[in-house]
Chain A
Amino acid sequence: SAVISQKPSRDICQRGTSLTIQCQVDSQVTMMFWYRQQPGQSLTLIATANQGSEATYESGFVIDKFPISRPNLTFSTLTVSNMSPEDSSIYLCSVEGTGDGYTFGSGTRLTVV
């Protein structure tokens, strides 16, 4: 299965600033997914990122707040923009599961103060 490197692993940010999270995969994948895991909760899909096209966002998530880049088949970034304390979460990227399950990055633990 694919191996994902995600960074930063954690960060503490001031409100109003932005943070870009990077996700590097060791193999080419068509679809990459970005999830948010709020404290004590399950995972919520933010968006699906396909190479060469705009990301598809789930209900409640917008591009202005969570811009995503997917410049090639092994890399993606998620930016959390104009952060507020409510954005404090773990953000995870994962790669396409074709019925075989997803592989996840180790996550980025974001604290907004």
Chain B
Amino acid sequence: AQSVTQLGSHVSVSEGALVLLRCNYSSSVPPYLFWYVQYPNQGLQLLLKYTTGATLVKGINGFEAEFKKSETSFHLTKPSAHMSDAAEYFCAVSVSTGGFKTIFGAGTRLFVKA
């Protein structure tokens, strides 16, 4: 069975600093990996996804993530944080089991300080 672990329930960075949100997964089959963002009082929005091919994927709002199979990781980064990046971020893994089933990590709340 697949699982997702997000390291750190809260991350705080200064505006302009590097954002790094960590995600490790376990899966017995090649996974599809996703990052979602949830702004206050809103649903989830897809930031980026890895399915196959290039291991460095770029998403919206300047975010990117790198799939590292050897480390079973899919960390989310952004070179320079903006105040508007403050939100909850969820890593998710999805595998095909006769239909796709997605498991979400516990989430990491990102705080951006002025």
Where the two chains meet, the residues of A that have a C-beta atom closer than 8 Å to any C-beta of B are 1, 4, 6, 31, 41-43, 45, 48, 92, 94, 96-107, 109
How long is the Cα–Cα vector from A96 to B33 in the complex, in angstroms? Answer: 15
Is B45 on the interface with A (CB-CB < 8 A)? yes
Is B53 on the interface with A (CB-CB < 8 A)? no
How long is the Cα–Cα vector from A66 to B74 in the complex, in angstroms? Answer: 34
Cβ contact within 8 Å between B90 and A104: no
Q: Residues of A contacting B107 with CB < 8 Å?
A: 41-42
Chain B contact residues: over half helix, strand or loop, or mixed? strand
* A-contacting 9-mer, from B13-21, B65-73, B78-86, B96-104: B96-104
CB-defined A-B contacts under 8 Å, sample of 13: A43-B44, A45-B101, A45-B102, A48-B99, A94-B44, A97-B102, A98-B100, A99-B94, A99-B96, A99-B100, A100-B51, A104-B44, A106-B43
Q: Residues of A contacting B43 with CB < 8 Å?
A: 4, 6, 92, 104-107
Least CB separation from B105: chain A residue: A42
Report the minimum CB–CB distance from B70 to chain A (whole Å).
22
Q: Residues of A contacting B46 with CB < 8 Å?
A: 1, 101-103
Interface centre among B36, B45, B90, B104 (most CB of A within 10 A): B104
How long is the Cα–Cα vector from A60 to B102 in the complex, in angstroms? Answer: 17
How long is the Cα–Cα vector from A106 to B45 in the complex, in angstroms? Answer: 9
Cβ contact within 8 Å between A92 and B99: no
Report the minimum CB–CB distance from A32 to chain B (whole Å).
12
Q: Residues of A contacting B104 with CB < 8 Å?
A: 42-43
Q: Which 3 A-B pairs have the closest CB atoms?
A: A104-B43, A106-B43, A104-B44
